[in-house]
Structure 1
């Protein structure tokens, strides 16, 4: 079996190549043998960068003058 430690996600962001580990849900699916690495790839579960880099912080209130 291919384990989660063997997989990396490679993506392009801000003019640079980034490499990250797979997310929590695909990692658990691999560890519990619910899906193989090929099934995760065909299901498009391995091709997105981590959300923590993609979502900017939002402010709840506007600054007062």
Structure 2
């Protein structure tokens, strides 16, 4: 039971870290996170999706 809980925490942490560090640099992943994950992550902390929003604003047209 303990290892399942640790696995769940690691997966959740990886999901949040991906949103903060990997997704802003990958357009497809950034779009998915912004559409599907950010509404839920904003309930935890709006700062999680700030790098995604900042990267979207600095995209070359």
TM-score with structure 1 setting the length = 0.21
* Greater helix content: 2
For the pair shown, which has the larger CA radius of gyration, 1 or 2? 1
Larger relative contact order, structure 1 or 2 (CA cutoff 8 Å, min sep 6): 2
TM-score with structure 2 setting the length = 0.21
